[in-house]
């Protein structure tokens, strides 16, 4: 992933989240994430992207950024280990099985306690 601040290399381990990894890989292969901005940046916590509906250049919709995505959802995977710095995971609302395309990258090992609602 190429950003204005450098390249981010994501290595997937589908054994940790097969549904999320499969969706992420499929969306990556079809170019869904091309020109999509990180719409949520919380220093020391997470950065979040994946809204290809409202957060894609050149047609941004700032007031809706973070609300969009495909019209399908991914079944939740069971979280089996702590979220640590550098880990990528599928973002969702508080509703079960509500993730689709948005993902977050953990910025700090101490963020674990606050990640229950992403």
Torsion-angle region of 3 (φ positive above 0: left; ψ -120 to 50: alpha; else: beta): beta
pLDDT score of 112 more than 90: no
* pTM assigned to the model: 0.91
Q: Which residues make Cβ contacts (< 8 Å) with residue 23, sequence separation at least 6?
A: 74, 90, 99, 100, 101
**Taking Cα atoms as reference points, which of 111, 70, 75, 112 lies closest to residue 90?**
75
What is the C-alpha separation between 25 and 44, in angstroms, rounded?
Answer: 26
Per-residue pLDDT band for 113 (boundaries 50, 70, 90) equals: low
Round the average pLDDT of the chain to a whole number and report it.
92
Prior bond of 70 cis (ω within 30°): no
Q: Is 80 exceeded by the pLDDT of residue 52?
A: yes
Residue pair 93/60 in contact (Cβ under 8 Å)? The answer is no
In the chain, what percentage of residues exceed pLDDT 90? 86
**Cβ neighbour number for residue 61 with a 10 Å cutoff:** 13
pLDDT in tens, 59-106: 999 999 999 999 999 999 998 888 899 999 999 999 999 999 999 999
Largest alpha-carbon pair distance within the chain?
A: 38
Q: 111: pLDDT confidence band, cut at 50, 70 and 90?
A: confident
pLDDT at 117 over 50: no
């Amino acid at each position: 992933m190429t950003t204005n601040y450098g390249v981010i290399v994501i290595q997937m381990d589908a054994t940790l989240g097969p549904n999320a990894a499969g969706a992420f890989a499929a969306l990556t292969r079809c170019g869904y994430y091309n020109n999509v901005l990180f719409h949520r940046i919380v220093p020391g916590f997470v950065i979040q992207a994946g809204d290809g509906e409202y957060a894609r250049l050149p047609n941004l919709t700032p007031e809706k950024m973070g609300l969009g995505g495909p019209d399908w959802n991914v079944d939740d995977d069971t979280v089996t280990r702590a979220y640590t710095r550098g880990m990528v995971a599928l973002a969702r609302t508080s509703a079960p099985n509500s993730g689709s395309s948005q993902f977050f990258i953990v910025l700090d090992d101490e963020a674990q306690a606050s990640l229950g609602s992403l």
